[in-house]
Structure 1
Amino acid sequence: MVATVLVAAIALLHVYILVLEMFLWTSPRGRAAFGTTAEVAEVTKVMAANQGLYNGFLAAGLFWALVMGVLAEGRAQAFFFLGCVFVAGIYGAMTASR
Protein backbone atom coordinates (compact mmCIF):
# COMPACT_ATOMS: atom_id res chain seq x y z
CA MET A 1 0.00 0.00 0.00
CA VAL A 2 2.76 2.47 0.94
CA ALA A 3 4.70 1.61 -2.23
CA THR A 4 1.62 2.23 -4.36
CA VAL A 5 0.98 5.61 -2.76
CA LEU A 6 4.62 6.67 -3.19
CA VAL A 7 4.71 5.61 -6.85
CA ALA A 8 1.45 7.48 -7.46
CA ALA A 9 2.84 10.60 -5.76
CA ILE A 10 5.99 10.52 -7.90
CA ALA A 11 3.90 10.01 -11.05
CA LEU A 12 1.68 12.96 -10.16
CA LEU A 13 4.74 15.11 -9.44
CA HIS A 14 6.01 14.36 -12.94
CA VAL A 15 2.64 15.27 -14.43
CA TYR A 16 2.89 18.59 -12.58
CA ILE A 17 6.38 19.16 -13.95
CA LEU A 18 5.11 18.28 -17.44
CA VAL A 19 2.41 20.95 -17.15
CA LEU A 20 4.91 23.54 -15.91
CA GLU A 21 7.41 22.82 -18.67
CA MET A 22 5.05 22.25 -21.60
CA PHE A 23 2.21 24.67 -20.93
CA LEU A 24 3.21 27.19 -18.25
CA TRP A 25 6.89 27.75 -19.06
CA THR A 26 6.46 31.38 -20.16
CA SER A 27 3.75 32.21 -17.60
CA PRO A 28 4.58 33.96 -14.32
CA ARG A 29 4.00 30.66 -12.44
CA GLY A 30 6.33 28.71 -14.72
CA ARG A 31 9.01 31.39 -14.65
CA ALA A 32 8.84 31.55 -10.86
CA ALA A 33 9.09 27.77 -10.52
CA PHE A 34 12.28 27.65 -12.58
CA GLY A 35 13.69 31.10 -11.81
CA THR A 36 13.78 32.38 -15.38
CA THR A 37 13.08 35.77 -16.88
CA ALA A 38 10.43 36.36 -19.52
CA GLU A 39 13.15 36.71 -22.16
CA VAL A 40 14.93 33.48 -21.24
CA ALA A 41 11.63 31.60 -20.96
CA GLU A 42 10.60 32.72 -24.45
CA VAL A 43 13.90 31.64 -25.99
CA THR A 44 13.93 28.26 -24.21
CA LYS A 45 10.25 27.29 -24.44
CA VAL A 46 10.79 24.60 -27.10
CA MET A 47 13.57 23.02 -25.03
CA ALA A 48 11.36 23.14 -21.94
CA ALA A 49 8.48 21.49 -23.79
CA ASN A 50 10.84 18.69 -24.78
CA GLN A 51 11.86 18.24 -21.15
CA GLY A 52 8.20 18.23 -20.17
CA LEU A 53 7.52 15.47 -22.66
CA TYR A 54 10.21 13.33 -21.04
CA ASN A 55 8.64 13.93 -17.63
CA GLY A 56 5.35 12.81 -19.14
CA PHE A 57 6.97 9.58 -20.30
CA LEU A 58 8.23 8.95 -16.77
CA ALA A 59 4.75 9.59 -15.38
CA ALA A 60 3.19 7.30 -18.00
CA GLY A 61 5.57 4.51 -17.07
CA LEU A 62 4.79 4.89 -13.39
CA PHE A 63 1.05 4.91 -14.07
CA TRP A 64 1.56 1.77 -16.15
CA ALA A 65 3.25 0.14 -13.16
CA LEU A 66 0.33 1.21 -10.94
CA VAL A 67 -2.19 -0.33 -13.32
CA MET A 68 -0.19 -3.55 -13.45
CA GLY A 69 0.17 -3.56 -9.66
CA VAL A 70 3.34 -2.16 -8.10
CA LEU A 71 3.76 -5.22 -5.89
CA ALA A 72 2.69 -7.72 -8.55
CA GLU A 73 3.11 -7.76 -12.33
CA GLY A 74 4.10 -4.08 -12.46
CA ARG A 75 7.02 -4.41 -10.07
CA ALA A 76 9.66 -4.48 -12.83
CA GLN A 77 8.11 -1.44 -14.53
CA ALA A 78 7.99 0.43 -11.23
CA PHE A 79 11.66 -0.29 -10.52
CA PHE A 80 12.70 0.67 -14.05
CA PHE A 81 10.86 4.01 -14.11
CA LEU A 82 11.77 4.84 -10.51
CA GLY A 83 15.38 4.14 -11.48
CA CYS A 84 15.02 6.58 -14.38
CA VAL A 85 13.60 9.19 -11.99
CA PHE A 86 16.47 8.55 -9.57
CA VAL A 87 19.16 8.96 -12.23
CA ALA A 88 17.50 12.13 -13.57
CA GLY A 89 17.30 13.49 -10.03
CA ILE A 90 20.97 12.80 -9.32
CA TYR A 91 21.98 14.43 -12.61
CA GLY A 92 19.75 17.43 -11.88
CA ALA A 93 21.17 17.79 -8.38
CA MET A 94 24.71 17.72 -9.74
CA THR A 95 24.13 20.19 -12.55
CA ALA A 96 21.45 22.62 -11.34
CA SER A 97 22.35 25.90 -9.75
CA ARG A 98 20.28 28.30 -7.73
Structure 2
Amino acid sequence: MTTLATIAVTLVALLHLYFLVLEMFFWTKPLGLRTFGNKPEFAEASKVLAANQGLYNGFLAAGLLWGLSQGSAGRSVELFFLSCVLVAGVFGAVTASRKILFVQALPAVIALALVLLTPA
Protein backbone atom coordinates (compact mmCIF):
# COMPACT_ATOMS: atom_id res chain seq x y z
CA MET A 1 0.00 0.00 0.00
CA THR A 2 1.31 3.43 -0.81
CA THR A 3 2.15 5.86 1.92
CA LEU A 4 -0.69 8.16 0.85
CA ALA A 5 -3.27 5.38 1.14
CA THR A 6 -1.89 4.37 4.54
CA ILE A 7 -2.10 7.97 5.75
CA ALA A 8 -5.69 8.30 4.48
CA VAL A 9 -6.85 5.07 6.16
CA THR A 10 -5.09 6.11 9.37
CA LEU A 11 -6.82 9.49 9.31
CA VAL A 12 -10.23 7.86 8.86
CA ALA A 13 -9.46 5.54 11.79
CA LEU A 14 -8.37 8.50 13.95
CA LEU A 15 -11.54 10.40 13.02
CA HIS A 16 -13.61 7.48 14.26
CA LEU A 17 -11.64 7.27 17.49
CA TYR A 18 -12.39 10.98 17.92
CA PHE A 19 -16.10 10.31 17.27
CA LEU A 20 -15.94 7.54 19.91
CA VAL A 21 -14.52 9.96 22.49
CA LEU A 22 -17.04 12.68 21.63
CA GLU A 23 -20.05 10.38 21.74
CA MET A 24 -19.07 8.22 24.70
CA PHE A 25 -17.42 10.75 27.00
CA PHE A 26 -18.32 14.30 25.90
CA TRP A 27 -21.91 13.95 24.66
CA THR A 28 -23.32 15.90 27.63
CA LYS A 29 -20.29 18.18 28.06
CA PRO A 30 -19.84 21.61 26.42
CA LEU A 31 -17.64 20.20 23.62
CA GLY A 32 -20.20 17.52 22.74
CA LEU A 33 -23.13 19.90 23.00
CA ARG A 34 -21.38 22.39 20.73
CA THR A 35 -20.18 19.75 18.25
CA PHE A 36 -23.56 18.10 17.81
CA GLY A 37 -25.72 21.18 18.40
CA ASN A 38 -27.71 19.50 21.17
CA LYS A 39 -29.53 21.02 24.11
CA PRO A 40 -28.43 19.72 27.54
CA GLU A 41 -31.82 18.09 28.16
CA PHE A 42 -31.72 16.15 24.90
CA ALA A 43 -28.08 15.16 25.42
CA GLU A 44 -28.84 13.82 28.88
CA ALA A 45 -31.85 11.86 27.63
CA SER A 46 -29.91 10.37 24.70
CA LYS A 47 -26.49 9.77 26.26
CA VAL A 48 -26.88 5.98 26.34
CA LEU A 49 -27.73 5.96 22.63
CA ALA A 50 -24.77 8.22 21.90
CA ALA A 51 -22.44 5.94 23.86
CA ASN A 52 -23.66 3.00 21.79
CA GLN A 53 -23.05 5.00 18.62
CA GLY A 54 -19.57 5.87 19.88
CA LEU A 55 -18.81 2.22 20.50
CA TYR A 56 -19.71 1.40 16.90
CA ASN A 57 -17.37 4.15 15.72
CA GLY A 58 -14.67 2.53 17.83
CA PHE A 59 -15.29 -0.79 16.08
CA LEU A 60 -14.88 0.92 12.70
CA ALA A 61 -11.58 2.44 13.85
CA ALA A 62 -10.40 -0.90 15.24
CA GLY A 63 -11.19 -2.64 11.96
CA LEU A 64 -9.28 -0.06 9.95
CA LEU A 65 -6.27 -0.25 12.28
CA TRP A 66 -6.40 -4.05 12.14
CA GLY A 67 -6.34 -3.91 8.35
CA LEU A 68 -3.40 -1.53 8.41
CA SER A 69 -1.50 -3.80 10.79
CA GLN A 70 -1.72 -6.67 8.31
CA GLY A 71 0.17 -4.90 5.53
CA SER A 72 -0.92 -5.83 2.02
CA ALA A 73 -2.77 -8.86 3.43
CA GLY A 74 -5.13 -6.44 5.22
CA ARG A 75 -6.30 -4.71 2.04
CA SER A 76 -9.65 -6.55 1.97
CA VAL A 77 -10.21 -5.70 5.65
CA GLU A 78 -9.52 -2.03 4.93
CA LEU A 79 -11.84 -2.06 1.93
CA PHE A 80 -14.61 -3.65 3.99
CA PHE A 81 -14.34 -1.20 6.90
CA LEU A 82 -13.95 1.84 4.63
CA SER A 83 -17.10 0.70 2.83
CA CYS A 84 -18.86 0.43 6.20
CA VAL A 85 -17.74 3.97 7.07
CA LEU A 86 -18.98 5.22 3.70
CA VAL A 87 -22.41 3.58 4.09
CA ALA A 88 -22.71 4.90 7.66
CA GLY A 89 -21.73 8.38 6.48
CA VAL A 90 -24.27 8.43 3.66
CA PHE A 91 -27.00 7.07 5.94
CA GLY A 92 -26.12 9.68 8.59
CA ALA A 93 -26.21 12.45 5.99
CA VAL A 94 -29.66 11.36 4.82
CA THR A 95 -31.16 10.78 8.27
CA ALA A 96 -29.36 13.13 10.66
CA SER A 97 -27.21 15.90 9.17
CA ARG A 98 -25.84 16.67 5.72
CA LYS A 99 -22.58 17.67 7.43
CA ILE A 100 -21.88 13.96 8.05
CA LEU A 101 -21.45 13.51 4.31
CA PHE A 102 -18.36 15.73 4.42
CA VAL A 103 -17.02 14.78 7.85
CA GLN A 104 -17.38 10.99 7.54
CA ALA A 105 -18.29 9.84 4.03
CA LEU A 106 -15.91 12.05 2.03
CA PRO A 107 -12.76 11.00 3.93
CA ALA A 108 -13.87 7.36 3.52
CA VAL A 109 -14.34 7.81 -0.25
CA ILE A 110 -10.90 9.36 -0.58
CA ALA A 111 -9.24 6.60 1.45
CA LEU A 112 -11.22 3.94 -0.41
CA ALA A 113 -10.10 5.34 -3.76
CA LEU A 114 -6.47 5.48 -2.67
CA VAL A 115 -6.54 1.90 -1.40
CA LEU A 116 -8.19 0.73 -4.63
CA LEU A 117 -5.62 2.61 -6.73
CA THR A 118 -2.78 0.95 -4.85
CA PRO A 119 -1.51 -2.19 -6.60
CA ALA A 120 -2.43 -5.32 -4.65
TM-score by length of 1: 0.95
Q: CA deviation at 1:38?
A: 0.6
Query: What is residue 31 of structure 2 aligned with on the other side?
Result: 29
**In structure 2, how many angstroms separate the alpha carbons of the residues matched to 1:75 and 1:29?**
35
Moved over 6 A (4+): none
Two-structure CA RMSD over aligned residues (Å): 0.9
Determine the C-alpha separation between the residues in 1 that align with 2:95 and 2:27.
20
- 1:22-77 CA-partner distances (Å, limit 9, x unpaired): 000000000111010110000000000000000000000000011012xx100000
Partner of residue 76, structure 1: 76
Percent of residue pairs identical: 61
- Structure 1 residue 89, shift from structure 2 partner: 0.6
Query: Distance between the aligned counterparts of 1:65 and 1:46, measured in 2?
Result: 29
Matches within 5 A, 1:1-80: 1-69=3-71, 72-80=72-80
* Number of residue pairs the alignment of both structures matches: 96
Instruction: Give distance in 2, aligned partners of 1:48 and 1:96.
Output: 13
* Gap regions ≥5 residues in structure 2: 99-120
